[in-house]
Amino acid sequence: MSEGVEAVLYDGVSSRPIEARVSVREPNALAVEHGNERFTWPLEHSGLQWERTRDTLRISFGEFPRRVLIVRDPLFIRSFVLRMRYTGRQGVYDRLLGVARSGPLLFFLGVAVLLVASYVWLLPWAAEGVAVLMPRSVDQQLGAAAWGTMAPTLDEDTARSRTLQRFGDALQLSPDHPLTFHVVRDDQVNAFALPGGHIVVFTGILERMDRPEELAALLAHEGTHVQERHSTRMLMRQLASYVFLSLIIGDASAIAAVVAEHADNVRNLSYSRGLETDADRHGMERMHSRGVDPDGMVGLLNLLQEEAVDLPAAMEFLSSHPLTAERVAEAERLAAQLGDPVVARPPLDGLFAALTTPEVKEIPVGTAAE
């Protein structure tokens, strides 16, 4: 035995391991010798393949069944890898893996920061972009489907719905989506909007109102959800983060999946809080431009505040609606800023009276509503 380092050779014919010595012969070949036999494998031959783990180098050569050489000498492995990299046989993957291996946790943190950044900024931006590109008819289909399944479970007061429709139409809240208003008999102090234009107001909130401005504020708020396509945007964002998270976590672990899901929920909640503030603000601006005193929003929010037991301040982060007290303050500030409307208010008092008094069912169309 002469030059070279120890290696094990498998000839691909039998399972017997053959003790061999291997060295790199200049200019560019691998010299293998065992017993009295000697042969060389050209390093740039396409039939030569190599793979390494941390402490094993596996070189194989030829057609199936391939001859295989296992080398465990660290110095040989290092110089071999350096040489092969120099001759351009090292792929992107190996380079990436090399970096990852030299500091796995650091690499992981780098990737994680990148991912979190794209999750927090890039993904919502892209999702919103897609949502904006989607035709408004998608909103309408979504809303119609949701309303179709919901309607049978709700006790709608159709007569009052028609009155509310006239009230809403007078305000011209959503130029791009026709709005359909529904009054539902229910004691909850609540109202909600579906994408595409169904707006549901419970009698519970309606009968606690004092002024038409408050109802206008409520409809303006919900109308903003529709006009600004909040549901669709929210849906796209949730869909995007769902796909993103399942892609990242893949088959990793159930625990990571649960953690991620909760983090996602918290994020969605804070986003939906943002949407509520948005709806307040845009609603007030719209009221103002339609001649309705934006101060009605303050009244509405005060009414909500009386009804709702506010969450303690520390919980605000987890709440989908911003604390009513804070919303009131914000609304007061904006109302002061907007000032009195410059155009005349549409006639709403008669309609409002009909809506908030349970006995009076409907005002025939055509009678003076003031």
Partner 1 sequence: MELLTPQHRLAFKGKGGDLFAVLIVNWLLTLVTLGLYYPWAKVRRLKYYYEHTELDGHPFHFHGTGREMFIGFIKAVGLLVLLYGAFFGLAMLQEAWASVLGFLVLFGGLLLLLPLIIHGTYRYRMSRSSWRGIHFGYRGDRDELYRICLRDGLLTLVTLGIYGSWFTINLRNYVMSHVRWGSSQFAYKGDGLDFFLMNLKGYFLTLFTLGIYGFWWQKDLFHYYVDHLSWTFSDGRRLQFKGTATGGGFFGLIVTNVLLVIFTFGIGYAWAEVRTMRFILANIALVGDADLNNVAQTEQEHKGALAEELGDLMDIGIFL
Note the residues at the interface with partner 1 (CB under 8 A).
8, 10-17, 19, 51, 53-54, 56, 58, 64-68, 70, 93, 96-97, 100-101, 104, 107-108, 111, 115, 247-250, 252-253, 255-256, 259
Closer residue to partner 1 (CB): 138 or 249? 249
Buried b (16+ CB within 10 A) or exposed e, 55-79: eebebbbeeeeebbbbbebeebbee
Closer residue to partner 1 (CB): 97 or 266? 97
Q: Look up residue 24 and give its two tokens.
A: 């790199």
Closer residue to partner 1 (CB): 216 or 260? 260
Q: Which of these, 146, 183, 178, 142, lies nearest to 162 by C-alpha position?
A: 183
- State in angstroms the smallest separation of the CB of 264 from partner 1: 15
The amino acid sitting at 341 is P
- State in angstroms the smallest separation of the CB of 15 from partner 1: 4
- State in angstroms the smallest separation of the CB of 8 from partner 1: 8
Closer residue to partner 1 (CB): 178 or 250? 250
Q: Which residues pair with 10 in a beta bridge?
A: 68
- Rounded Cα distance, 72 and 49, in Å: 16
Q: How would you class 173 by CB atoms within 10 Å of its CB: exposed for 0-12, middle for 13-18, buried for 19 or more?
A: buried
Closer residue to partner 1 (CB): 11 or 186? 11
Closer residue to partner 1 (CB): 10 or 181? 10
How distant, in Å, are the alpha carbons of 33, 51, 53, 77, 84 from that of 69? 11, 11, 14, 12, 16
- State in angstroms the smallest separation of the CB of 50 from partner 1: 12
- State in angstroms the smallest separation of the CB of 262 from partner 1: 12
- State in angstroms the smallest separation of the CB of 30 from partner 1: 17
Length of the chain: 370
